[in-house]
Structure 1
């Protein structure tokens, strides 16, 4: 099968080529991939940044698995031993195991769900990592109807899902984004939009119960200034490179929380099939819609990953189409 592979860190080591077809093991299905979402996760693996995370990515010199990609939407072509939930022909979306920028990919049955009938494969592939992350952060915040939440990076992958989910839960949403995304963010449910090129959300008089930061544009200390006493800063910023990336700020967050009148929370998102089902319900209810700003064929998957590197892309999601 064709796949985007990489044996060493660095853009020059990413290439599309032939690799053996994977075979499903216990509790796995083999999926014919129709589309695969692109995430900042992919450029971290492509570049090996931040350096401190290489031990979790594979080895110090190269990532594992060899095939890039995590999100998928496609059709089950084979089921491994012990699998009763899915059969060949079932259309699914979710998280792959062993790489998804490929014609075929493996997936654990607990990390996928049936494709929402109202979404195309391209739209469904845009959801797993970004939408599940948004859902799990907002759930950890115990966001309630009537609360005021500011979401930075509101036009991006996680951000545009967070705006919709928060609004669906009855929160008053302030979206912070650039001017080209302002109309989109408002249409997705934000009651207020702040253009960061004109106004600094951390310098105003407005106060929020929750601030959910995604773009890495603001320090946690600055965001803490606009949180009400006892409020919460949801810290999700993986955009920094270097030796430690965002780790110093995130590691000191618990200490800062004890010294400040607000809390700072970082959530380790999980590949939950149950949460994919929750998202499918929101799609069915008409309150959640993936925004896909561009698609790329497999041969141009590297270009798509480059677009999400750092601050390079900030409008909905990019998706790689396979077949």
Structure 2
């Protein structure tokens, strides 16, 4: 089968090659991949950034698994021992276990769910990592109806899902994005939209109960100026490269906030079928819709990864198509 693989770190090492088809182990299924979402996560593994994380990415010599991609949507081709929740022919979406930019991919049965009936495979492939991250961050914040939340990077992958989820929960959402995404973010449910190219979002009196910041555009101290006393800053930033990347900022945020009138925290998102099913219900209920701005065939998947590298400026989600 064809897959996007690499033997060493660096985007130039990525290439589509023929590799053996994987076999589902106990508790796994084999999925015929129709589409695979693209995430900054894929860039981190491909580039080996931050460098301090390379031992956890598979080693100093190159990433493991060698096939890139984490999200998928497709059709179950076979099931491994012990799998009862899925059968061949089922249409599923979720997280792959060993790379998804491939014609076939294995996935743990506990990390996939049935595809929402109202979504195409391309749209469903855009959901897993970004939408689960948005859901888990907002849940950790204890967001409730009537609270005022500001979401930066509101036109991007995680951000555009966070806007919709927060609005569905009854929050008053202020989305922060570039000029080209203002109309989209408003249509997704934001009550107010700030164009960061024209207005300083960190100016003014404290007015937000929660700030959910993506991509590290604003320092914590600046965001703290617009958070009410006792409010919360959710920090999520995978934009930096180098030896440590964004890790020092994320680790320092809770410590710094001890000396401020607000709290700061990050969340380590987890892959699970329960949250995927919750997202599917939101889709079926008409309150969540993935925005896919571009699709790429497997032969051009590297272009998609470059689009989400570092600070990235992809609108909504990018998806790699395989059929």
User: TM-score normalised to the size of structure 2?
Assistant: 0.99
Deviation string for 1:19-68 (max 9, x for gaps)?
00000000000000000000000000111111111121111121010000
Partner of 1:57: 57
Deviation string for 1:273-297 (max 9, x for gaps)?
1000000010011000000000000
Partner of 1:240: 240
Q: Structure 2: how far apart are the matches of 1:285 and 1:277?
A: 12
Partner of 1:127: 127
Deviation string for 1:139-163 (max 9, x for gaps)?
0000000000000000000000000
Q: Structure 2: how far apart are the matches of 1:32 and 1:95?
A: 13
Partner of 1:11: 11
Partner of 2:259: 259
2:27–2:83: 8 Å Cα contact kept in structure 1? yes
Q: Structure 2: how far apart are the matches of 1:60 and 1:204?
A: 46
C-alpha displacement of 1:103: 0.2
**Structure 1 residues without counterparts, runs of 5 or longer:** none
The alignment status of 1:96 with 2:113, answered yes or no, reads no
Q: Structure 1: how far apart are the matches of 2:314 and 2:209?
A: 25
1:92–1:114: 8 Å Cα contact kept in structure 2? yes
Q: Structure 1: how far apart are the matches of 2:124 and 2:34?
A: 10
2:240–2:311: 8 Å Cα contact kept in structure 1? no
Q: 4+ runs of 1 displaced by more than 4 Å?
A: none
Q: Structure 1: how far apart are the matches of 2:243 and 2:148?
A: 35
Partner of 1:295: 295
Partner of 1:69: 69
Partner secondary structure for residue 210 of structure 1: strand
> Equivalences for 1:1-323 in 2 at 5 Å?
1-205=1-205, 207-323=207-323
Deviation string for 1:272-322 (max 9, x for gaps)?
110000000100110000000000000000000001111232310000000
Aligned residue-pair number: 323
Q: Structure 1: how far apart are the matches of 2:116 and 2:214?
A: 26
1:73–1:115: 8 Å Cα contact kept in structure 2? yes
Q: Structure 2: how far apart are the matches of 1:227 and 1:286?
A: 31
C-alpha displacement of 1:206: 5.2
1:79–1:88: 8 Å Cα contact kept in structure 2? yes
Partner secondary structure for residue 30 of structure 1: strand
**Structure 2 residues without counterparts, runs of 5 or longer:** none
Q: CA RMSD in A?
A: 0.8
Q: Structure 2: how far apart are the matches of 1:72 and 1:297?
A: 14
Partner secondary structure for residue 252 of structure 1: helix
Q: Structure 1: how far apart are the matches of 2:180 and 2:215?
A: 15
Deviation string for 1:159-192 (max 9, x for gaps)?
0000000000000000000000000000000000
1:153–1:314: 8 Å Cα contact kept in structure 2? no
Q: Structure 2: how far apart are the matches of 1:138 and 1:21?
A: 38
User: TM-score normalised to the size of structure 1?
Assistant: 0.99
Partner secondary structure for residue 107 of structure 1: strand
Deviation string for 1:247-294 (max 9, x for gaps)?
111111221121111111100000111000000010011000000000
Q: Structure 1: how far apart are the matches of 2:100 and 2:202?
A: 38
Choose 29-38 or 217-226, whichever is displaced more.
217-226
